[in-house]
A and B are shown apart, each in its own frame.
Chain A
Amino acid sequence: MKINVNGQVREVAVAPDMPLLWVLRDELKVKGPKFGCGIAQCRACTVHLNGQPIPSCSLPVSAVGDAEITTIEGLGTPQQMSLVQQAWVDHQVAQCGYCQSGQIMTATALLTKNSNPSDDEIDTAMSANLCRCGTYPRIRAAIKTAAQNIRKENELKTEPIAAPEKIELALERDAS
């Protein structure tokens, strides 16, 4: 069967009931999504399926079809991070870091839909993701920073009559 991971179509020959998580990790060597519980209770395995955050440990690979799967590797790299990832670094969120791929995927999905979430909306979106190290307060702070930067970027994109140096910035970013 074929699945689309981070914009690449990949061929996999596995049992149809094999969870997407293990197909990604063991068959395709995409290691960003993590195994924590296997029963949709920790969300360390979160990936996007057509932009929706889902626990990949609980989705049989046969159910993926031609949906687009995005893992944390599809968001950015250490050299070129997404705004959410950059906010995670700015706030020094990670401790052991094992939950953070999932946290970032969930936060990214939230901020894509809603770039100005209230505390309650953040609570609702993030409460399925477990962090045993207790980094929650810094996650909240990072989400707020990322939201602010995303709003700024959106403004730059949608308001071409902004100050000239801002336009330049936006152009630079588009080209990269």
Chain B
Amino acid sequence: MSKLGTITRRTFLFGSIAIAGGVGFGYYKYKQPHENPLELDLADGDTALTPYVLINQDGISIIAPRAEMGQGVHTTLAALVAEELDLSLEQVKVIHGPPSAAYFNAAVLEEGIPFASIDTSALANTVRNFIHVPAKLAGLQITGGSSSIADAYEKMRVAGAAVRNVMIKTAAARLDVSATKLTTENGFVIATDGQSLSYLELAAAAATVEPDSELALKPNPQWKVLGKSQNRIDIPAKSTGTAEFGIDIDLPNMVYASIRVNPRLGGAMNSFNAEKAKAMQGVKKIVEIDNGVAVIASNTWYAFKAVNAIEFDWAQANYPADTAAHFKAVEDSFTSDNQDSQFRDDGDVDAALEIADEIVSAEYRVPYLPHAPLEPMNATAWFRDGKLDVWAGTQIPTQALKEAAAITDLDESNIKIHTTLMGGSFGRRLEMDFIIQTIKVAIEMPGAPVKLTWTREEDMTHDNYRPCGIARFKAVVGENGPSAIDLELAGGPVNASQMGRIGVPAVGPDISIIQGAWEQPYGVENFRVTGYRVKNDFPISSWRSVGSSQNGFFHESMIDEIAHAKRLDPLQMRINLMTHHPSRKVLEAVADMSDWGSELPQGHGRGIAYCLSFGVPSAEVIEVAIIDGKVKILKAFAAVDVGTALDPRNIEAQVLGGVNFGLAAAISGDINIKNGEVQETNFHQYRSMRFYQAPAVEVRILENGDKVRGIGEPGTPPAAPALANAIFAATGKRIRELPLSKHIGFV
């Protein structure tokens, strides 16, 4: 059996290798490595070299164990491994792979600590390394917080280097030459005399060889794949209708389900009447599941129709019944007993306010927002013969595995989670709700694969939303800028709400309430940022850029008001206040790109905003024209600093997508509640940005930052304030509430 021959060591990768001259690698060594999940499921002739490389007769597969939801992460992760193997992306297959603790994400928790992402002090780094320990022990395989690239940057290159190293050693033995005389190219180990051996033929023997205990990674100037724009591996399929999303899973004898759950979120179901639904065409079974009812039918449409025909009596929800009451709860949270954090308190703000002749102050508001990815929530589960298979677009496959085991009582070894491509997410697929429902429905149909699809109405009204919030500020402004700022932020605790749903207790302050405000590297003598926690049971969650999604708007609108209070140039004032070099550079870049300060036609205006989020400083300028009293967005400019740009064209795509995502919400994004139910049910009520509204976005990528950063989210936070500031510049009207369309029209 070849299996025996290949499963020789479980300590292959992380246990024994350090990078020569590398930094921060020590933490991989503090405990035994996780077991290599690929070794649990090898077919004859397969060789799993590290958890990231699988070789068989069909070729070389790279495991990219993060959710591909549009950010291009599979391509960039594969490039990390391919680079060290001297392969191009055309020469490998890229797969998501199984859920495994081996694929834990160490970087994702870094955003949760009370140190700014750019704080490189010894204390901040110690705390950062310390939280890698629980991250590893929890073995949470999670995609989020723009952390995938930062997390993988070293470990996936090491994986590639380790494989290359054992290939060379094996070839050296076979050819009887010194390893130093061998090079690698195009999937071959090549000797100086021209003899060559392919990775494929070396793989089985290479798996029994220990890699060197120190490996050198390729220096950046030698990169052939990294740092260059790659053709994304998923784009040909996505351009021909052949990419398989979760909703496209098709299995023999599959049945189709849909579900309706109490729209008063978390509320119980008192009763239901499905008499009419039972008799409808195609209906196979009706089952009660978690505060709702699912219909199983012979196609999705019949299931939708039957669900709509069920009458329900819903219990009340445990949160305020309407939008006004939710905002009242936020207003009431600005008290000392609701204070959640005060991580920034520079100088003496109270004293500065006390003696000031004049105080600039304002209040800002943002609404609840849905994620609304274009592919509605869905999953497929097949429960038979003591086994369970689940296909789902999930950002936490290890959690899906845990939930599946808990529901079915099966051993995890009898459960397979297949992570599919995702038609968007923006944070929505961190949730387990649709996966849990699907497994429960599948248990009611043993033997038959069940695909459960939510209607758009179910999706829009059963999200976990970006919290609504209010900001209040007071500032003292001198001739050169602010001398004191007191910023108070009240909102729901996203991390506590979200982690609570997957059973991870969140203790201490919730960074989401103040993220995107407290750590902004503006030097102001007296500067205080206080977070207040709004407590209620309305489910809230991470929405592309999390706390920075609202705090970016609050903070940067505030900075703009401060500048205009003394007729200071808002961009130059930001540059003057900036204490962080890469941030100053993105501001200068965006000034240059937008020709900031140059004359504009009558009725036009430019707005600037900046935000440091997930370690990435982003500065954006938006130019608008006012046409018949309505706003037309003409152009957007964005400069970002990712430290090291691994794939420039994809980074550009993420920034322009992030800008448009932020603008879409700023213009019209609004979720309202009445009788405990979300009122916006579909895209005719929840309006998203349309083609004609989207500006051209010019992106510039800088590399002054200290380390490689992820870019899925940082393009979003400055978009809303840059637009609001542009509207102010063009009209003199300061809009302090989102969505902006409540106060001004758009064309």
CA distance A41 to B242 in the complex (A): 23
Question: Which of these, A35, A101, A138, contacts B247 with CB under 8 Å?
Answer: A35
Which listed residue (B232, B240, B282, B658) contacts A92, Cβ 8 A?
B232
Interface 0/1 of B85-101, CB less than 8 Å to A: 00000000000000000
User: A137, B696: Cβ atoms under 8 Å?
Assistant: yes
Question: For B256, what are the chain A residues with a Cβ–Cβ distance below 8 Å?
Answer: 26
A166 part of interface (Cβ distance < 8 Å): no
Q: Are B421 and A137 in contact (CB under 8 A)?
A: no
B46 to chain A, nearest CB (A): 26
A69 within 8 A of B: no
Which B238-282 residues have a C-beta within 8 angstroms of A? 238-245, 247-248, 250, 256, 281-282
Which residues A120-160 have CB closer than 8 A to chain B? 122-124, 126-140
B653-708 contacts to A, CB under 8 A, are 653-654, 656-661, 663-664, 682-684, 688-692, 694-697
Known: A89-B231, A98-B373. A139 touches B661 (CB 8 A): no
Contact assessment for B238 and A94 in the assembled complex, using a CB-CB cutoff below 8 Å:
yes
Type the 1/0 row for A82-125, where 1 means its CB is closer than 8 Å to any CB of B.
Answer: 00010011001111111111001000000000000000001110
Residues on B with C-beta less than 8 A from A35 are 247, 300, 376, 453
Give the shortest distance, in Å, between A136 (CB) and chain B (any CB): 4
Residue of B nearest to A32 (CB): B241
Q: By the criterion CB–CB under 8 Å, are A99 and B374 in contact?
A: yes
Kindly state the separation between the CA atoms of A136 and B236 in the bound complex, as whole angstroms: 18
Complex contacts, A85 vs chain B, CB 8 Å: 239-240
Q: What's the Cα separation between A119 and B493 when bound, in Å? A: 44
Given contacts A14-B299, A35-B247, A97-B238, is CB(A136)–CB(B456) below 8 Å? no
List B contacts of A132 (CB < 8 A): 372-374, 424, 426, 661, 664, 688
Q: Which positions 53-73 of chain A face chain B at CB distance < 8 Å?
A: 71-73
Contact B300 A42 (CB under 8 A): no
Out of A41, A96, A101, which one reaches B682, CB within 8 Å?
Answer: A41
The reply on B650 being an interface residue by CB < 8 A is yes
Contact B374 A92 (CB under 8 A): no
The answer to whether B683 and A94 touch across the interface, beta carbons within 8 angstroms, is no
Interface check B235, CB cutoff 8 A:
yes
Chain A residue at smallest Cβ distance from B248: A31
Q: Is the CB of B241 within 8 A of A37?
A: no
Q: Report whether A94 and B455 are in contact in the complex, using a CB–CB cutoff of 8 Å.
A: no
Report B-chain residues with C-beta under 8 Å of the C-beta of A134.
656-661, 663-664, 689, 694
Interchain nearest-CB distance for B394 vs A (Å): 14
Partner of B239, one of A37, A41, A71, A94: A94
- Min CB–CB distance A1 → chain B (angstroms): 15
Inter-chain contacts of A78 with B (CB < 8 A)? 236-237, 240, 242
Beta-carbon contact of B423 and A39 below 8 Å: no
Question: A42–B683 contact, CB under 8 A?
Answer: yes
Which residue of B69, B250, B663, B691 contacts A31 across the interface (Cβ within 8 Å)? Answer: B250
| A15 CB → nearest B CB, Å | 5
B433 is an interface residue with CB less than 8 A from chain A:
no
Closest-by-CB residue of A relative to B694 is A136
Q: Chain B's nearest CB lies how many Å from the CB of A80?
A: 9
* A26, B258: Cα distance in complex, Å: 14
| Residues of chain A within 8 A of B398, CB atoms compared | none
Q: Which residues on the B side are within 8 Å of A101 (C-beta)?
A: 241
B422 within 8 A of A: yes
Distance (whole angstroms) from the CB of A79 to the closest CB of chain B: 9
Contact of B71 among A72, A95, A122, A126 (CB under 8 A): A95
From A19, A36, A71, A124, contact of B241 by CB (8 A): A71
B690–A130 touching, CB < 8 Å: yes
- Candidates B374, B426, B659; contact of A36 at CB < 8 Å: B374
**Cβ–Cβ < 8 Å partners of B239 in chain A:** 81, 85, 88-89, 93-94, 97, 100, 104
**Interface residue B538 (Cβ < 8 Å from any Cβ of A):** no
Cβ of B649 under 8 Å from chain A: yes
A48 within 8 A of B: no
Chain A residues with CB under 8 A of B281: 15
Q: Are B241 and A26 in contact (CB under 8 A)?
A: no
Q: Are B234 and A94 in contact (CB under 8 A)?
A: yes
Residues from chain A with Cβ under 8 Å of B237 in the complex = 78, 97
Known: A26-B301, A34-B423, A41-B682. A98 touches B653 (CB 8 A): no
Does A51 count as interface, using CB distance less than 8 angstroms? no
Contacts of B376 in A (CB 8 A): 35-36
Q: How far is the CA of A92 from the CA of B453 in the complex (A)?
A: 29
**Taking the complex as formed, is B375 at the interface, i.e. its CB lies under 8 A from any CB of chain A?**
yes
> Which residues 275-318 of B sit at the A interface, judged by CB distance below 8 A?
281-282, 299-302, 304
Contact between A26 and B231 (Cβ–Cβ < 8 Å)? no
Would you call A29 an interface residue if the criterion is a C-beta within 8 Å of the partner chain's C-beta atoms?
Answer: yes
Q: Does B367 sit within 8 A of A, measured CB to CB?
A: no
B70 at the interface (CB under 8 A from A): yes
Residues in A lying within 8 Å of B, measured CB to CB: 14-15, 18-19, 22, 25-27, 29, 31-39, 41-42, 44, 71-73, 75-78, 81, 85, 88-89, 92-101, 104, 122-124, 126-140
List 16 other contacts, CB 8 Å, given A31-B250, A38-B456, A92-B650. A31-B248, A32-B240, A32-B242, A33-B241, A38-B682, A39-B683, A41-B682, A78-B237, A88-B239, A94-B238, A96-B374, A96-B375, A127-B690, A131-B691, A132-B664, A139-B691
Q: Which residues of B contact A (CB under 8 A)?
A: 69-72, 231-232, 234-245, 247-248, 250, 256, 281-282, 299-302, 304, 372-376, 421-426, 453, 455-456, 649-650, 653-654, 656-661, 663-664, 682-684, 688-692, 694-697
| Smallest CB-CB A-B distances: 3 pairs | A32-B241, A134-B660, A98-B423
